[in-house]
Chains A and B, each alone.
Chain A
Amino acid sequence: MKIESINTKVGDAVTSAREKVIEVRNLVKKFGSFVANDHLNFEVYRGEIFGFLGANGAGKTTAMRILCGLSSPTSGELSVGGFDVYRQAEQIKRNIGYMSQKFSLYEDMTVAENIRFYAGIYGISVKQRKEKERVLLQKLQLEDARDKLIASLPLGWKQKLAFSVALLHDPKIIFLDEPTGGVDPITRRQFWDFIYEAAAEGKTIFVTTHYMDEAEYCDRVSIMVDGRIAALDTPEKLKQQFLSEDMNGVFLKLARGAQNGE
């Protein structure tokens, strides 16, 4: 009886952990004769924080754009959230969230206007949007900033707001492209609290970063070099494999031999 109850609990965790939300088989993307992605293979599971690392120019952005349905692969099989990237790019876009440091919120619109705008794009009803807006502003303690322009907010607030807005339509997967650049070390860690929380709720997080300490916070990490995935494992195993104290050491060992490096 006792064992059975434990098993149910563990069993739930195991099945949810095994549910693949991203599957990539032999992804190839060429621009003319240049191979940006050279036979990538990986999968990402539900509720996982998946770190997608690589040097500038290694092919991360290309792969990320394909996974988000913004660009088509040259060849390979890919599904994101159960949708095929060739035939169901529109469904993918509707079922993922995306946030990048460069583009997220409209600077010359207020906090409330941005929320209304994104809610509109994702077809969220007015009633639902009002409720979501209330919860979101309360959680971020931004009630007083509701009618302020985004441009007037500190960068750390913008990042947290952009993350919450990207979750507004309740996507299964959220792509974060260097979400924490430029903020102070405390704000950067507060942002990771948000990421952990979303993952604990079953969201899948796909994140790129240049901060190697953040690579340690991921469940698994892939490192791209010259368009290929040079390593993919938990941070712990990667450190053992490359005999490094930390992820910075792993990264330097792998990326230093790069050909397309800059």
Chain B
Amino acid sequence: MIRVNNISKSYKDVQALQRISFEVQEGELFGLIGPDGAGKTTLMRILMTLLLPDEGQAAMHGLDVVRDYKEIRQLVGYMPGRFSLYQDLSVEENLAFFATVFGTSIEENYALIKDIYQQIEPFKKRLAGKLSGGMKQKLALSCALIHKPKILVLDEPTTGVDAVSRKEFWDMLKKLQTQGITILVSTPYMDEAGLCDRVALMQKGEILRIDPPEQIVANYTRTLLAARSTEMHRLILDLREWDSIDTAYAFGQFAHVTPKKEGLTAYELERYLKTKNHQQLQVHQIAPGIEDVFMALIVGNEE
């Protein structure tokens, strides 16, 4: 459904994308996971026919993003990171505007947006500029869907959104997926990777890994230990001081620890931390999460 082949793009002296290749299958929910500056937005803008690549080709539903841009624009829905809405039009007017631009009407495709739009319909006379963040997000999604696109592209739809709204938003995406829409979504939140069918982990214009999330963590073979004590900051400093430790980072209430040599046991780590007088120690071996893998990949990439 989406095919990207060796795409590169530079802005002056900044290489935003370096020979990126991947494919998204029809009906797939595909995630681009990475921090600011990874190249997620640039890649999406190229796929949306809003930006020309320096090198490489990309096709959406078999249509070339440079040559066939007019056809592509009819079959994709795009929710950019900064809101695309007209602040001085009302909720209803924004939706009607997007429908008209695509030569359709709100009534024609109402079924597709019903679940989402109903949540903001009580405020349909309100100006978009006066909506709260979560409501704007729902309106922008409705506007991106009103012409019944085959492919939906969402650029960081959940950035700066609270945990509850984020969960609701992902529930909406899952529902849209069941209606046959192919979805490409980007996010800086590692925990959202697990909600995608497949993800591309991106950093500084490169793809570090593409796989289903469960595969990404399964491929990580290094020993990983988790430790906690009553003093997190001192714990991390003590861990980093020990020459058997490669990395130590806070992960919620635990510090995740990668030893330099494989096979360092929880018992050995605990014995070391006891010599540093840590209280209420808990140390055990754990399976990695996406964030652990991502951090290891970043470090590996920079070396």
Complex interface residues of chain B between 135 and 192 (CB less than 8 A to chain A):
135, 159-167, 188-190
CA of A56 to CA of B162, assembled, Å: 6
Query: Which residue of the partner chain, among B165, B249, B295, contacts A55 with CB atoms under 8 Å?
Result: B165
Known A-B contacts A189-B249, A262-B134; the reply to A54 vs B159 at CB < 8 A is no
Chain B residues positioned under 8 Å from A154 (CB to CB): 37
Chain B residues positioned under 8 Å from A216 (CB to CB): 250, 252-253
Report yes or no: A255 in contact with B162, Cβ–Cβ below 8 A: yes
Chain A, Cβ-Cβ closest to B34: A184
Report yes or no: A261 in contact with B164, Cβ–Cβ below 8 A: yes
User: B24-46: contact bitstring with A at CB < 8 Å (1 yes, 0 no)?
Assistant: 00000000001111000000000
Chain A, Cβ-Cβ closest to B160: A181
CA of A161 to CA of B34, assembled, Å: 22
User: A16-52: contact bitstring with B at CB < 8 Å (1 yes, 0 no)?
Assistant: 0000000000000000000000000000000000000
Report yes or no: B298 in contact with A186, Cβ–Cβ below 8 A: yes
Query: Which residue of the partner chain, among B135, B167, B190, B294, contacts A252 with CB atoms under 8 Å?
Result: B167
Chain B, Cβ-Cβ closest to A49: B233
Taking the closest CB of chain B, its distance from the CB of A153, in whole angstroms, is 11
Known A-B contacts A182-B188, A184-B35; the reply to A213 vs B251 at CB < 8 A is yes
Complex interface residues of chain A between 201 and 223 (CB less than 8 A to chain B):
210-213, 216-217
Chain B residues positioned under 8 Å from A258 (CB to CB): 164
Q: Is the C-beta of B133 less than 8 angstroms from some C-beta in chain A?
A: yes
Chain A residues positioned under 8 Å from B253 (CB to CB): 216, 235-236, 246
Taking the closest CB of chain A, its distance from the CB of B185, in whole angstroms, is 16
Query: Which residue of the partner chain, among A56, A183, A248, contacts B134 with CB atoms under 8 Å?
Result: A56
Q: Is the C-beta of B232 less than 8 angstroms from some C-beta in chain A?
A: yes
Q: Is the C-beta of B101 less than 8 angstroms from some C-beta in chain A?
A: no
Q: Is the C-beta of A2 less than 8 angstroms from some C-beta in chain B?
A: no
Chain A residues positioned under 8 Å from B232 (CB to CB): 196, 217
Chain A residues positioned under 8 Å from B298 (CB to CB): 184-186
CA of A212 to CA of B35, assembled, Å: 17
Taking the closest CB of chain B, its distance from the CB of A229, in whole angstroms, is 16
Chain B residues positioned under 8 Å from A256 (CB to CB): 164
Q: Is the C-beta of B291 less than 8 angstroms from some C-beta in chain A?
A: yes
Q: Is the C-beta of B132 less than 8 angstroms from some C-beta in chain A?
A: yes
Chain B, Cβ-Cβ closest to A154: B37
Interface size of A as a range: 35 or more
Chain A, Cβ-Cβ closest to B240: A193
Chain A residues positioned under 8 Å from B188 (CB to CB): 181-183
Chain A residues positioned under 8 Å from B163 (CB to CB): 55, 210, 212, 248, 251-252, 255
CA of A185 to CA of B187, assembled, Å: 13
Known A-B contacts A182-B188, A186-B295; the reply to A57 vs B132 at CB < 8 A is yes
Q: Is the C-beta of A155 less than 8 angstroms from some C-beta in chain B?
A: yes
Chain B residues positioned under 8 Å from A184 (CB to CB): 34-35, 203, 294, 298
CA of A193 to CA of B239, assembled, Å: 14
Known A-B contacts A182-B188, A261-B134; the reply to A187 vs B252 at CB < 8 A is no
Complex interface residues of chain B between 111 and 144 (CB less than 8 A to chain A):
132-135
Report yes or no: B160 in contact with A210, Cβ–Cβ below 8 A: yes
CA of A251 to CA of B191, assembled, Å: 15
Chain B residues positioned under 8 Å from A210 (CB to CB): 160-163, 166
Report yes or no: A55 in contact with B203, Cβ–Cβ below 8 A: no
CA of A258 to CA of B168, assembled, Å: 13
Q: Is the C-beta of A70 less than 8 angstroms from some C-beta in chain B?
A: no
Query: Which residue of the partner chain, among A55, A182, A213, contacts B159 with CB atoms under 8 Å?
Result: A182
Chain B, Cβ-Cβ closest to A195: B233
Chain A residues positioned under 8 Å from B35 (CB to CB): 155, 182-185, 187
Query: Which residue of the partner chain, among A189, A252, A262, contacts B132 with CB atoms under 8 Å?
Result: A262
Chain B, Cβ-Cβ closest to A251: B163
Q: Is the C-beta of A126 less than 8 angstroms from some C-beta in chain B?
A: no
Most A-side CB within 10 Å, residue of B36, B163, B166, B299: B163
Chain B residues positioned under 8 Å from A212 (CB to CB): 163, 252
CA of A183 to CA of B166, assembled, Å: 18
Chain B residues positioned under 8 Å from A255 (CB to CB): 162-164
18 contacts between A and B (CB under 8 A): A54-B162, A55-B165, A182-B35, A183-B36, A184-B34, A184-B203, A189-B249, A196-B232, A196-B233, A213-B251, A246-B253, A247-B252, A251-B163, A252-B167, A255-B162, A255-B164, A261-B134, A261-B165
Across chains A and B, which 6 residue pairs bring their CB atoms closest together, nearest first? A262-B134, A184-B35, A196-B233, A216-B252, A182-B36, A213-B252
